[in-house]
Structure 1
Amino acid sequence: MIKGLLRQRPLSEQPGHALVGVIRMPDAKVSPLNAIIRRIVGALLFLFAAVIIVYIGRDGYTDSKGDGISFLDAVYYATVSLSTTGYGDIAPVTDSARLINIVVITPLRVAFLIVLVGTTLEVLTERSRQALRIQKWRNKVRDHVVVVGFGTKGRSAINALLAEHDVEANQVVVVDTDQQALDAASALGLITVHGSATRADVLRVAGVQRARSVVIAPNRDDTAVLVTLTARELAPKASILASVREAENVHLLKQSGADQVVVSSETAGRLLGMATRTPLVVDMVEDLLTPETGLAIAERPVTPKEEGGSPRHLPDTVLGLVRAGQLYRVDAPEADALEPGDRLLYVRHTARPDDDEDG
């Protein structure tokens, strides 16, 4: 009955443990040797606690010799008890034999238990850790970026975000229905949500209502329209950027609430057409669109010293400016004089470490 009620509840209202497998947090990088050392240390701590407990209550124990329980007896009793070996008619009776049992046999038993049940314990503890991390993340996530679709366009968008260094990998949430794509995203340190972004509940699980930006890059234009409608309803203040294949669907995305729409097929077609006449121009455009090296298009605010001047007289190569949310090219009459609050779109040299987005 309870399980049935859990299934009927929306994903966004499910507890953290019910979302393990839907949300996947990036795995912590721990070497196999460190994992084994941690398990051995944990086993020794349990053994030490058991020894102390037995020794403190030694008046309640007796052995076959009837001479009371020594500290060595307490260690031996704890050892055979925790290792599930037990005791019976065949048991060491001399101190040297018991010491050998503690020093030699017990490490072998611990190693055997690690090999035998280590994998099962790891799975159980990992699921619990995932549940706790998911619940903690859901309570704290703010101003992140949700990327719908981890295909070619989605991957390129994420690479550009990470290359600009203003977004960390754990601030990006990928939503997709392809588990292989999600595994690849998780390997990059991204948070992933398995499900269709056309469902409002899945987007809520991704925290889209508190996201800074939503990048919509599915394989189908109709999917992009539906996801945009859903995302805009959930996140009226977020910046929504969508990609479509056909230009005729741009107005649908705009009407659905997209702030910016990129036509992938026409953009690729224009680059191909340019390549037939001026292939080196295409190389330059690719350089501008690749922020890791060479040149890149960046944005920065106008400084007080630059106010009133012309953007054409600045040392930076200015392409345009943004004023009150409106973009003006550098040759437009509105761009003759810079005003307070303007933002410049300029060509940035990525090789200069001191040249950041804020100028």
Structure 2
Amino acid sequence: MPEIRSSPVRSILRRVAIAALLLVAAVLAVYLDRAGYRDNNGDGMSLLDCVYYATVSLSTTGYGDIVPVTASARLVNVLVITPLRVLFLIVLVGTTLEVLTERSRQAFRIQKWRTRVRDHVVVVGYGTKGRSAVNTMLADGTAPERIVVVDPEQDMLDAASAIGLVTVHGSGTRNDVLRVAGVPRAKAVVVAANRDDTAVLVTLTARELAPDAHIVASVREAENVHLLRQSGADSVVVSSETAGRLLGMATTAPSVVDMVEDLLTPEAGLAIAERDVEPTEVGGSPRHLSDIVLGVVRDGTLYRMDAAEADAIEAGDRLLYVRKASPVAEG
């Protein structure tokens, strides 16, 4: 779960520094009145003896080999050493209690989130492809808290959490990890693994948990597309072939590549989007609309503009069109 908090190392170092300051204060108090203490060996109180006495006193060990004998020394123990001992214990015990409380609170927050979340999007893998997918969804208006990122690398999760995404640490090939991410109640699952075999296994696991979710997977090689389809992916994107086509077009028609990149970039320029038809548009031709319509989605099937089914708009259709892109809000 995303949460802004201080570094654990910094928190521990701060507590160690406080404990050291309390110990120094206790040593100073004992050393200034060292004549009021008696050591069993009878050789007086050295600086090391003062450090030893302060240490065993603050840690409540108290061996009894050094004791305050004068009224002033005992008064210092009551008014100075005892409060320092209490503060010292608060620092030590407080660290343990904070860890236990934080774990319990985090477990409660996760359980509460899992019982309430519905129709969210789970992104498995937060590499280049996963981040691009998230940026596109954010540009299309998806709230950050409706996106869950699953990745085994903590630095990837930290980057996702920094922009408000929900994060789950672990491998997307594991059934229990995907359950924690809420895959059984997810609207869609984006499989952006770095390896094709991993993508197949993640897709199989996700489909088993969420039979009705829309699963989109990315593969490097076209020969593995049928494996993803058989594993339950609704849509498969071949990253290597797509990049290869753009490279080929760039040699003869670089402006076409610029336009494609513009359409695929959510931050600025133009973008491809999908919307419901307006009641006033039913019965008309999508070619006569002010929007640049690329296709008509009817009963889950996409019909390009050159298809006869796209000649007239029907109630319940959705239009695939070109719109002006809106910038992604900075986290």
Q: Same fold (TM over 0.5)?
A: yes
Q: Secondary structure at the match of 1:345?
A: strand
* CA–CA separation in structure 2 for the residues paired with 1:114 and 1:271: 63
In structure 2, the CA distance between the partners of 1:288 and 1:110, relative to structure 1 (3 Å rule), is: farther
2:149 maps to 1:149: no
After superposition, the C-alpha distances for 1:296-355 in whole angstroms (9 at most, x for unaligned) are 111111111111111111011111110111111112111111111111011111359xxx
8 A contact 2:135–2:266 mirrored in 1: no
Paired letter, 2:220: R
* CA–CA separation in structure 2 for the residues paired with 1:280 and 1:119: 60
1:43-62 aligned within 5 A: none
Q: Of 235, 239, 251, which aligns to 1:264?
A: 239
2:183 maps to 1:208: yes
In structure 2, the CA distance between the partners of 1:109 and 1:292, relative to structure 1 (3 Å rule), is: farther
Q: Of 320, 325, 331, which aligns to 1:350?
A: 325
Q: Secondary structure at the match of 1:341?
A: coil
2:172 maps to 1:158: no
Q: Of 206, 225, 230, which aligns to 2:205?
A: 230
Instruction: Give TM-score, length-normalised by structure 2.
Output: 0.71
Q: Of 250, 253, 272, which aligns to 1:275?
A: 250
Paired letter, 1:278: A
Q: Secondary structure at the match of 1:227?
A: helix
| Map of 1:317 onto structure 2 | 292
After superposition, the C-alpha distances for 1:158-216 in whole angstroms (9 at most, x for unaligned) are 111112112x2222211122222222222222222222222222211211111110000
After superposition, the C-alpha distances for 1:205-228 in whole angstroms (9 at most, x for unaligned) are 211111110000111111111111
| Map of 1:244 onto structure 2 | 219
Instruction: Give TM-score, length-normalised by structure 1.
Output: 0.66
CA-atom RMSD in angstroms: 3.2
After TM superposition, where is structure 1 displaced by more than 6 Å over at least 4 residues in a row?
108-118
State the aligned residue count.
267
In structure 2, the CA distance between the partners of 1:112 and 1:341, relative to structure 1 (3 Å rule), is: same
Shift of 1:119: 5.6
* CA–CA separation in structure 2 for the residues paired with 1:145 and 1:222: 22
Q: Of 157, 163, 184, which aligns to 2:159?
A: 184
Shift of 1:262: 0.4
8 A contact 2:218–2:238 mirrored in 1: yes
- Structure 1: runs of 5+ lacking an equivalent: 1-24, 36-83, 93-100, 353-359
* CA–CA separation in structure 2 for the residues paired with 1:284 and 1:200: 41
| Map of 1:194 onto structure 2 | 169
Shift of 1:117: 7.0
Q: Secondary structure at the match of 1:348?
A: strand
Paired letter, 2:161: S
Shift of 1:114: 8.3
* CA–CA separation in structure 2 for the residues paired with 1:131 and 1:326: 42
Shift of 1:110: 10
Shift of 1:280: 2.2
In structure 2, the CA distance between the partners of 1:109 and 1:317, relative to structure 1 (3 Å rule), is: farther
Identity %: 74
Shift of 1:288: 0.9
1:322-341 aligned within 5 A: 322-341=297-316
| Map of 2:228 onto structure 1 | 253
| Map of 1:285 onto structure 2 | 260
In structure 2, the CA distance between the partners of 1:119 and 1:314, relative to structure 1 (3 Å rule), is: same
8 A contact 2:217–2:235 mirrored in 1: yes
1:31-46 aligned within 5 A: none
Q: Secondary structure at the match of 1:173?
A: strand
Q: Secondary structure at the match of 2:3?
A: coil
In structure 2, the CA distance between the partners of 1:318 and 1:114, relative to structure 1 (3 Å rule), is: farther
Paired letter, 1:268: A
In structure 2, the CA distance between the partners of 1:294 and 1:110, relative to structure 1 (3 Å rule), is: farther
